[in-house]
């Protein structure tokens, strides 16, 4: 069973339905046919063609892609959920500021994470324009500043998904363009980001996320003699979470001239395992657990 959300004028759903014999549900954000045609005049003809394919194809109005279970109100679980070129509605877009698009992506993934929406081995496919994904695979299209991308890996990870593939978007379908405007998409370099639940079987994630931190704490001579216990405990933590946690001791300890205390400093590099979702929030949480391991050893004390 396939689900297509936020399909604009329903042209993609029509192409998809004609090319496959599987059951399909396609949804639009607008509340009814009149509202849809007012935004996308070409939707009227596509809608009629899709209705001719009933009962294999159903069209449902008024579905918010971030609240899929509520919008569908049906006991159907999908093998594949597709969202092409997601956009916030114009009233919320505010010049398409990137943070609103990231929130849309995160909330969409959270909706898909529900067992009432996606099967255990199900796939979520998101099409993004060139440079929006923020992944190295985009090559020269990757935006110089990470802050300018939609961070597909990060927002998928927050909902427990990993990106396993990112093929180029098929040129056989020409999307209608930005919602509520006459501005069309520039499709060159666009990609489909294929995502699965973390921890399952199948393809490993394409670009495991990495994070770097600096850890500093007070450590007396007694702590130094037990430093090996700290390193072992961090290694066990990484194995438990299926995340590689690398520790590199910074050169030279800082000695506080007033108290004589020694500050121990490590550079910490975290890299997610092949099937582990790792968001920045989770990485920061792991950093706190590493700190807890450091000060749990006698002679260790937090700084600040």
Report whether 142 contacts 131 (CB < 8 A).
yes
- Res. 113 pLDDT band, cuts 50 70 90: very high
Express each pLDDT in 114-143 by its tens digit.
999 999 999 999 999 999 999 999 999 898
Is the pLDDT reported for residue 227 higher than 90? yes
What is the pLDDT at residue 182? 56
CB atoms within 10 A of CB 57: 22
**pTM of structure:** 0.90
pLDDT reading at 241 higher than 90: yes
């Amino acid at each position: 069973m396939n689900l297509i959300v936020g399909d604009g004028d329903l042209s993609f759903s029509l192409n998809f339905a004609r090319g496959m014999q599987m059951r399909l549900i396609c949804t639009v954000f607008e509340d009814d046919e009149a509202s849809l045609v007012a935004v996308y005049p070409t939707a009227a003809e596509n809608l009629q063609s899709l209705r001719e394919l009933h009962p294999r194809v159903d069209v449902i109005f008024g579905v918010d892609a971030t609240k899929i279970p509520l919008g569908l109100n049906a006991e159907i679980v999908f093998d594949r959920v597709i969202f092409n070129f997601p956009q916030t509605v114009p009233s919320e877009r505010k010049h398409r500021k990137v943070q609103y698009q990231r929130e849309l992506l995160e909330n969409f993934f959270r909706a898909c994470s529900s067992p009432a929406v996606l099967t255990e081995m199900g796939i979520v496919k998101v099409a993004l324009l060139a440079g929006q994904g923020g992944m190295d695979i985009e090559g020269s299209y990757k935006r110089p500043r990470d802050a300018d991308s939609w961070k597909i890996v990060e927002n998928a990870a927050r909902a427990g998904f990993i990106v396993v593939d990112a093929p180029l978007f098929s040129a056989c379908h020409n999307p209608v363009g930005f919602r509520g405007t006459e501005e069309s998409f520039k499709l060159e370099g666009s990609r489909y980001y294929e995502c699965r639940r973390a921890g399952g079987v199948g393809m490993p994630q394409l670009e495991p996320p990495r994070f770097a931190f600096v850890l500093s704490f007070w450590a007396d001579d007694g702590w130094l003699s037990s430093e090996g216990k700290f390193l072992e405990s961090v290694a066990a933590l990484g194995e438990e979470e299926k995340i590689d946690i690398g520790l590199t001791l910074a050169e030279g300890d800082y000695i506080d001239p007033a108290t004589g205390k020694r500050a121990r400093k490590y550079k910490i590099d975290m890299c997610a395992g092949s099937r582990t979702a790792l968001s920045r929030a989770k990485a920061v949480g792991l950093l706190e657990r590493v700190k807890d391991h450091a000060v749990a050893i006698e002679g260790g004390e937090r700084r600040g």
